[in-house]
Amino acid sequence: MIRLRDVTWHHGAMPEDGQATLRNISFTVPQGGFRWLLGPSGAGKSTLLRLLHLEALPRSGEMDLLGTDIGPRVKRSALARLRQRIGLVPQDYRLMPTLSVADNVALPLRLQRRMEAEVAQEVDAILDWLGLSSRRNARPVTLSGGEQQRTAIARAVVVRPGLLLADEPTNALEDSQAERVIRMMRELADLGTTIIVATHNDTLVRRFPAPALHLRQGRLTVDE
Amino acid sequence: MNKGRRIRDGLALARALPDRSLVTMVAAMSLLASLTFTGAVGARSLSDRWAKGAANLVTVQVPDPDKATSAAGRGASAATRVQAVLANLEAAPAVMRAHRLDGAELDRLLRPWIGDVGTAALPLPAVIEVDLAPGQTLPDPLISTLKTEAPGTLIEKNDDWRAQLHAIADSLLWCAGLATLLVGVIGAAVIGMATRLGLGARRESVTILHELGASDGYVAGRFGRRVAGLSLVGGLVGTLVSLPPIAVLARLMAPLAGGGSAEMGNMHGWWGFFTESLSSLMQGSAPQALLIGLGCIPLVVTLIGWVTAQVIVRVWLRRLP
């Protein structure tokens, strides 16, 4: 479960106009919940996802992620452990340029010190499912946009995270692949993963109805 | 779980922290540290040796040596002043040997000042060299007795020399200590800069690892192990390179420190002298403190490298939440 209450975030000092990037954000998503995160460009969707991925910490308000209170006194080691339970599909993919597709996908498992046999099994399964088996030894720089996006998705879900955050995870995919990815995410949610997907793709939102979080100029409204 | 296994994490530190430049710089620092340390140990052992010699040697001058003695005492049976002084010195438990310089020895001693004229015609005092037992001094009652039986007797105890030698040795040690500390600080700064360059080259990869949940300890450990490994190699190379000059220096200092000869006569020139010095050092002819210290330099350099890399990386990671 994730819970935010009156969370505010802004770059550096508070802007002079008092307009923080995220203002008084409050919402709750239960364990296994699936939410669309909608809003125009610049509304703060990516910033909210970065906040939920602990790449930034709230300036004020309360945030509870997967049972951990993200207060000012939270320990760095606790944040690191928590990040291992959160999968992120970033808009820019953020793949390790020096690693192959398979090693990129295996990285979160290896950071958790899983046995290599288990790592190989999990990686093979997810690469096969996302149609990347033939590209398993390729470097990210040789991949198409769609392949890079699928690799980022595979890396985010391979650990079966407690929370999955996806920032425009289908914008480089064909419609059929995009639907397949969202269907997989819905299945993950059914298995207990809490999921928030930021998108501009109205067709996809209509095709897979779910509660939505609407962000506009840093303010959030919840559409149940 | 598989805790000890090294994982493919994409940091590629072999390329981000190239071995050649860092190893060369650390080797140069280790060479400097080795030579400085050797200088300090050499100065210390020489001053100890000289101070010990000075402390154990007392010179006694007896004016008018052949005149009759003036007081009764242990040497009362002696006919002359010098015989009385010698008898008293030889009877003292603190004295190992008391030797009166003969005419030839006095001539040799004074030749730099009076040339080959000889001392026979000069009214010189008798000079007695006294070797004291280790750690012993001339007792005050004995000195009083000597001055009573042969008034005007002069006793040079060399204490001032010993104090000055100790002061010089201590100063040298402080200088060497400061120089070694400076070398260590510069070494740490060089390692720190190399680590920062490596971090700069892998900024993106480190950030991704951080976002995937790698702990600060994991990332700092990866950099620390790489830098420590390179520092160990550099430390070993620098220390090994320092051994030949140290061996030659130790060989040259050996006679001054009471060891063997430094002559090259039967060693087939400089090369023979050099190889002989090196093998002598390897066989442990050098002071034990020197050998232990030199052995510790690569380990200390490794520790400095590991700690510096850990601190630099952990401080850098603090920028990230």
- What's the start-to-end Cα distance of chain A, in Å? 16
pLDDT at residue number A107: 94
Nearest-by-Cβ selection for B2 from A55, A95, A113: A113
pLDDT at residue number A43: 82
Report CA-CA distances (Å) from A61 to A7, A8, A84, B179: 4, 6, 24, 54
- Of B220, B215, B218, give the one whose Cα is nearest residue B198: B220
Closest residue in A to B9 (Cα–Cα): A107
Single-letter amino acid code for the residue at B310? Q
Helix orientation angle between B19-56 and B288-317, rounded to the nearest 10 degrees: 140
Which residues of chain B does A115 touch, with a Cβ-Cβ cutoff of 8 Å? 1-2
Angle at A195 between CA A193 and CA A24, to 5 degrees: 125
Q: What average pLDDT score do residues B87-91 get?
A: 88
* ipTM summary value: 0.88
Domain boundaries, chain B: 13-52+162-317, 64-152
Single-letter amino acid code for the residue at A201? N
Nearest CA distance, B19 vs chain A (angstrom): 19
Q: Is B299's pLDDT higher than 80?
A: yes
Q: How confident is the model at residue B138 (pLDDT cuts 50, 70, 90)?
A: confident
* Residue of A110, A118, A155 for testing the chain B interface, max B β-carbons within 10 Å: A110
Query: CA-CA distance, B94 to B142, in Å (whole number)?
Result: 10
Is the CB of A108 less than 8 angstroms away from the CB of B12?
Answer: no
- Chain A residues within 8 Å of chain B (Cβ atoms): 53-57, 76-77, 79-86, 88, 94-99, 103-104, 106-108, 110-116, 155
Q: Is A20's pLDDT higher than 80?
A: no
The secondary structure of residue A166, as a DSSP letter, is: E
- Of A32, A29, A35, give the one whose Cα is nearest residue A3: A29
- A192-206 per-position pLDDT tens digit: 899 999 998 888 899
What phi and psi, each to the nearest 5 degrees, are found at residue A53?
-90, 5
The secondary structure of residue A135, as a DSSP letter, is: G
Instruction: Report residue B135 as tokens.
Output: 């750690």
Q: How confident is the model at residue B271 (pLDDT cuts 50, 70, 90)?
A: low
Is the CB of A99 less than 8 angstroms away from the CB of B320?
Answer: no
Report CA-CA distances (Å) from B216 to A108, A183, B200, B222: 15, 36, 16, 10
A1-8+21-85+162-224 has CATH 2.40.110.10 classification: no
Closest residue in B to A107 (Cα–Cα): B9
- What's the start-to-end Cα distance of chain B, in Å? 27
pLDDT at residue number B268: 58
Single-letter amino acid code for the residue at A54? L
Query: Which range (A2-16, A50-64, B182-196, B243-257) has the least confidence?
Result: B243-257
**Residue extent(s) of CATH 3.40.50.300 domains in chain A:** 1-8+21-85+162-224
pLDDT at residue number B315: 94
Q: Is B3's pLDDT higher than 70?
A: no
Instruction: Report residue B231 as tokens.
Output: 């520092």
Which residues of chain B does A86 touch, with a Cβ-Cβ cutoff of 8 Å? 213
Q: Is B158 left (phi over 0), alpha (psi -120 to 50) or beta?
A: left
The DSSP string of A10-75 is -SSSPPTT---SEEEEEEEE-TT-EEEEE--TTSSHHHHHHHHTTSS--SEEEEEETTEE--TT--
3-class DSSP state of B103: helix
pLDDT at residue number A18: 57
Query: CA-CA distance, B220 to B305, in Å (whole number)?
Result: 12
Query: Which range (A78-92, B33-47, B199-213, B222-236) has the least confidence?
Result: B33-47
Q: Which long-range contacts (CB under 8 A, 24 or more apart) does B168-176 make?
A: B168/B43, B168/B47, B169/B43, B169/B44, B169/B46, B169/B47, B169/B48, B169/B51, B172/B39, B172/B40, B172/B43, B172/B44, B172/B47, B173/B40, B173/B43, B173/B44, B176/B36, B176/B37, B176/B39, B176/B40, B176/B43
Which residues of chain B does A53 touch, with a Cβ-Cβ cutoff of 8 Å? 211
Q: What average pLDDT score do residues A86-109 get?
A: 93
Q: Cβ distance B272 to B264 under 8 Å?
A: yes
* Residue of B212, B218, B219 for testing the chain A interface, max A β-carbons within 10 Å: B212
Element (H, E) at A6: strand A2-9
Is the CB of A111 less than 8 angstroms away from the CB of B8?
Answer: no
Residues in chain B: 321
pLDDT at residue number B12: 80
3-class DSSP state of B131: strand
Query: CA-CA distance, B75 to B148, in Å (whole number)?
Result: 11
Which distant-in-sequence residues (6+ apart) come within 8 Å of A119 by Cβ? A106, A109, A110
Q: Cβ distance A150 to A177 under 8 Å?
A: yes
Residue-averaged pLDDT of chain B = 81
pLDDT at residue number A13: 64
pLDDT at residue number B310: 95
- A123-173 per-position pLDDT tens digit: 999 999 888 999 999 999 999 888 999 999 999 999 999 999 999 888 878
Report CA-CA distances (Å) from A142 to A136, B76, B159, B193, B204: 12, 110, 82, 33, 18
Query: CA-CA distance, B234 to B34, in Å (whole number)?
Result: 13
Query: CA-CA distance, B243 to A171, in Å (whole number)?
Result: 65
pLDDT at residue number A213: 92
pLDDT at residue number A8: 87
Single-letter amino acid code for the residue at A46? S
Nearest CA distance, A13 vs chain B (angstrom): 16
Is the CB of B8 less than 8 angstroms away from the CB of A103?
Answer: yes
Q: Is B11's pLDDT higher than 70?
A: yes
3-class DSSP state of B59: strand
- B150-192 per-position pLDDT tens digit: 888 888 776 666 677 777 777 877 888 888 888 889 989 999 9
The secondary structure of residue B213, as a DSSP letter, is: T
Is the CB of A110 less than 8 angstroms away from the CB of B208?
Answer: no
Distance of CA B272 to the CA centre of its chain: 25
pLDDT at residue number B4: 55
Angle at A209 between CA A206 and CA A215, to 5 degrees: 85
Single-letter amino acid code for the residue at A174? E
